[in-house]
A = this chain, B = another copy of it.
């Protein structure tokens, strides 16, 4: 079996969302699985000194324009959320709660959470809203609510975030193919060639 592709992303990241829409098809082309691993960019920022891009003079205004243009360029439907960026702790915990009991479905929940935020303008930073997305996805609301609040899920989330950062994830998406790290949805073309050729 070839190595799975490691896919690190933050639920508040539009470029992570673009990658979420593209990565499975790309991986399937080369018979690869994808390990979906949400993490918290805010924690990485404590190491890198990073700040949310929208707050940066000049870059912030460009960033919004680039998101709108780039999603259209890739044919990915997008509506810029009213609240942006957000803390992504709740959706991250919802993911790892489901991942612990039904790992095959966790990826689809990640997509549902991304769609709620970047298509339906649902502020998924709120635990109530994250639970509502889980319910719409077909999970039991009370179980999802308990899961997000569960200490074991919180611990697992924290451990996964630490692992992501230990793997080098300082931005979103951060994608590792056979040990080679790629940052940004604009590296998907290089990933395609890397998978096809084994690297250069």
Residues of A in contact with B (beta carbons under 8 Å apart) = 44, 47-51, 56-59, 61-62, 65-66, 69-70, 72-73, 165, 168, 170-171, 180-184, 186-187, 189-190, 193, 200
Q: How far is the CA of A58 from the CA of B182 in the complex (A)?
A: 13
Secondary structure type dominating chain A contacts: helix
Instruction: Give A170 Cβ to nearest chain B Cβ, in Å.
Output: 4
Whose C-beta in chain B lies nearest to the C-beta of A185? Answer: B186
Contact check, A48 vs B44: say whether CB atoms are below 8 A apart.
Answer: no
Contact check, A200 vs B58: say whether CB atoms are below 8 A apart.
Answer: no
Instruction: Give A33 Cβ to nearest chain B Cβ, in Å.
Output: 23
Q: Which single member of B57, B62, B73, B171 contacts A183 (CB below 8 Å)?
A: B62
- Given contacts A48-B59, A73-B193, 11 further A-B pairs with CB under 8 A are A47-B57, A48-B57, A59-B171, A61-B168, A62-B170, A65-B181, A69-B200, A70-B190, A73-B200, A184-B186, A189-B189
Instruction: Give A142 Cβ to nearest chain B Cβ, in Å.
Output: 39
